[in-house]
Structure 1
Amino acid sequence: MIKSLLLISYDELKRIFQTKAIASVMFIGIFLYFFFYPQPYLHEAIRDVPIAVIDQDNTNYSRELIRQMDANKSIKIDLHIADLQTAKSLIEQRKIYGALLIPYRFQQHILEGAPSPVIYYGDASYILIYSNVATAINTVAGDFGAKISISRKIAQGTDPAIATNNTAPFNTQLISLFNPQSGYATYIIPAAFILILYQTLLIGSTLCRLFSKNSEFEIKFIQQQSHAASSALLLLSGKLLTYLALYLIYFIIYTVFANYWYDLPRLGHVLVSLSFIIPFILSTALFGKVVSHFVHTVSDVFCLIIPSSMIIFFMTGLSWPKELMPYLFHLIGDIFPAVPAIVGSVKINQMGANFSEFSQQYWHLWILTIVYFCIAFILEKRYVQKAMIANASKES
């Protein structure tokens, strides 16, 4: 039995590396994704976003505010323009991403103690850029107003310490947990890497069965067996052994080596991560075996699986909170191993979660493993029975 398992596993491994369509996904694709997918995200923080200024006041206060804005690391005052129509044209040409308007009598209103708002017109189609610039402008404007208020109170005879405390009674310190750089790469790459492992394994597992059907090895193996159930069990188990060994290596590369290579935070223990990922590998490979019974060509596999990856990523709650999705979306997401795997892996590796905090995703993956194993076994048994019947008819 062990010899049969190893022979089946070895045959599957040969198929992976000798079949171009499979090798391009399960070997070449794995390493291409590893090196090229993170590249656009490596410069995580948004710096020096070009914006224009419309200074209608042109006073000492307005010029000082502009200087402080330009000194902020998120903003670069690229142009001084005369009107909003020019700003709109420049935004449409993507030469700037917004315009800051300082209105007439800005300094006069401040000296009179009246509010004098500044207005930012930003291109909100780039939400990350817009939010960063808007936050920077609010911060600088708030600090600028606080300093003026403090100076006015001191000039009126208020003690400097009291004036400062009255204006800013407490200081706010923001701490970015699990994402110290507050960067997009730290947020998106660990989750995307699990999705890549899922997609390549699902496609590879499906293609392997398409190419193994009626192969010389499997026909010979089935001919040597007397029971369809034991044959189906051996075929499934031997192939799962191959995927498990191969993807445990890939998982270590993607979640351990990648974190050092791309300077991503990692808090989880390797052994905990590996124990969690085992049911993910098994359930995904078995899901691929189930899918393979309903597709017939290589193009069918790619047309079916690749578009579903976008849906899966959406259902993880990383692009939009799951709490705001209809319950039907939760149910659909529950059938894909990638959804609990992404959530659980991020909890373990990036957030340092203990077992009680990721146990829901862990048992979810084991349930999917059992369900897909039962379905795959039934389908594989039917395939073996047909092969045995066909073989028997040939001999007779």
Structure 2
Amino acid sequence: MASPSSLFGAFISTLRTVASDIGVILLLVGAPVLYGFFYPWFYTEEVVQRVPVAVVQQDGSGLARQMMRFASASPRIDVVLTTGDEREAREALLRGDVMGYALLPPDLKRHVVRSESTPVPVYANGAYPLAAKQVQYGFAEAFGTVSAGVELRRLGASGQSKLQAASSRSPVNLQMEAMFNPTEGYGSFVVAAVAILILQQTLLMGSALLVGTWREQGQAAAPPRVWLGRLLALCTLGWLSGLYYFGWMFFWHDFPRGGNPWGALLLLAIFVPAVAGLGALIGWWLADRERAMQALLFTSIPLAFMGGFSWPAEALPTILQWLRWLSPSTAAIKASLQLNQLGAPVVAALFPLSVLLSLALVGWLAMLWVGKVNRGQMT
């Protein structure tokens, strides 16, 4: 049997300690599994569809009725209210019965026949950005299709053939295609980044909790080889969680993934040690099991905002733009999106990978030194 003072013995002893500590094992094993299963579940319907809307129809022409039909056929919106009174539509919007409405103004067809500019106002509830986007896009696509038909008929009446009319109306065709988020879904956008933050926070809190417990019990003092074994045990659990996310969760929920699998593995290999070293240092510094949880529990939301995916990093105060790199999640999110989602080569992610490697080296060397000094003071 391996000696507890050897590297392998410390590795096995740490895993046994984790298995016997319900709080630590819930953070290092239970939480990543549960988050990986339930968190993406809420984003299964990635794209908002059939958003309830109203149409204020103040023009009784055939053109207005055609615009109504095209709006009703749009998969983005669902026309649940048709009225001639804009006040009624506005009140329905304020009550939440609809998420937006379009106003077809009086004399709409007359202005179109005269080739006059005829704006069609579209109002949406800005408190719900995803729904508001669908309201605006739905009406824009429906009315734009009708407008294109009117323009083609006008050009045809002037003597142009169908091909000439199509070329005159749109000499340069625009085709938009989302390359790395084909569904343009919110889940594909947010889960890929938040998964890294989940991996960090669970490993960070679990490591700090375990080391804080050792400090309380007077077991933190140990030679470097023992601390190497302890940190490797924590990394093993972190690597398994990372493989679970990159190797199963993204596939199961069909999120964009696998662009550069070897690069993603390299990222995990560096990211997990950086987090484990930081968590061990925090646990040693706080020296209290509960305090470690209390200090780290509420850091997730600030770190998410500083990660640069939900809020532009350039909009942060200058000092936060620098301090955010002290969290491994900042560099890991950037590298993960480049390697796992975009399929970029490793050379494109050298900066965030270098940051993670530096954090890992500093954290591990500091932890080995702290443990050695602490042990020397206690003997």
Q: Distance between the aligned counterparts of 1:72 and 1:251, measured in 2?
A: 40
- Report the Cα offset of residue 249 of structure 1: 1.4
* Cross-structure match for 2:284: 293
* Cross-structure match for 1:347: 338
- Report the Cα offset of residue 96 of structure 1: 0.9
Q: Is the 8 A contact 1:256 1:270 kept in 2?
A: no
Does 1:277 find its partner at 2:268? yes
Could you say what secondary structure the match of 1:96 adopts?
A: coil
Q: Is the 8 A contact 2:261 2:339 kept in 1?
A: no
Q: Distance between the aligned counterparts of 1:7 and 1:214, measured in 2?
A: 22
Q: Distance between the aligned counterparts of 1:214 and 1:107, measured in 2?
A: 80
Q: Is the 8 A contact 2:224 2:368 kept in 1?
A: yes
Could you say what secondary structure the match of 1:294 adopts?
A: helix
* Cross-structure match for 1:104: 106
Could you say what secondary structure the match of 1:158 adopts?
A: coil
* Cross-structure match for 2:256: 265
Letter in 1 for 2:34: L
Could you say what secondary structure the match of 2:299 adopts?
A: helix
Q: Distance between the aligned counterparts of 2:26 and 2:259, measured in 1?
A: 31
Q: Gaps spanning 5+ residues in structure 1: where? A: 223-230, 389-396
Per-residue CA distance 1:281-305 (angstroms, 9 max, x = gap): 1111111111113324444223321
Could you say what secondary structure the match of 1:51 adopts?
A: strand
Q: Is the 8 A contact 1:16 1:22 kept in 2?
A: yes
Q: Distance between the aligned counterparts of 1:10 and 1:24, measured in 2?
A: 19
* Moved >4 Å (runs of 4+): none
Letter in 2 for 1:77: V
- Report the Cα offset of residue 161 of structure 1: 2.0
Letter in 1 for 2:256: P
- After superposition, the Cα gap between the structure-2 partners of 1:58 and 1:296, relative to the gap in structure 1 and judged at 3 Å, is farther
Letter in 1 for 2:363: Y
Q: Distance between the aligned counterparts of 2:25 and 2:237, measured in 1?
A: 12
Per-residue CA distance 1:127-181 (angstroms, 9 max, x = gap): 1221232123222222211210111222233322222211111221112111111
Query: 36-45 or 158-167, which moves further after superposition?
Result: 158-167
- RMSD (Å), alpha carbons: 1.9
* Cross-structure match for 2:176: 174
Q: Distance between the aligned counterparts of 2:349 and 2:158, measured in 1?
A: 59
Query: 284-293 or 374-383, which moves further after superposition?
Result: 374-383
- Report the Cα offset of residue 215 of structure 1: 4.5
* Cross-structure match for 2:153: 151
Q: Gaps spanning 5+ residues in structure 2: where? A: none
Does 1:331 find its partner at 2:333? no
- Report the Cα offset of residue 188 of structure 1: 1.2
Q: Distance between the aligned counterparts of 2:48 and 2:69, measured in 1?
A: 19
Letter in 2 for 1:46: V
- Report the Cα offset of residue 186 of structure 1: 1.2
Q: Distance between the aligned counterparts of 1:332 and 1:25, measured in 2?
A: 26
Q: Distance between the aligned counterparts of 1:347 and 1:175, measured in 2?
A: 19
Q: Distance between the aligned counterparts of 1:85 and 1:384, measured in 2?
A: 76
- Report the Cα offset of residue 214 of structure 1: 5.7
- After superposition, the Cα gap between the structure-2 partners of 1:293 and 1:245, relative to the gap in structure 1 and judged at 3 Å, is closer
1:1-396 mapped onto 2 (5 Å cutoff)? 3=3, 4-213=6-215, 215=217, 218=219, 231-388=222-379
Q: Distance between the aligned counterparts of 1:296 and 1:214, measured in 2?
A: 6
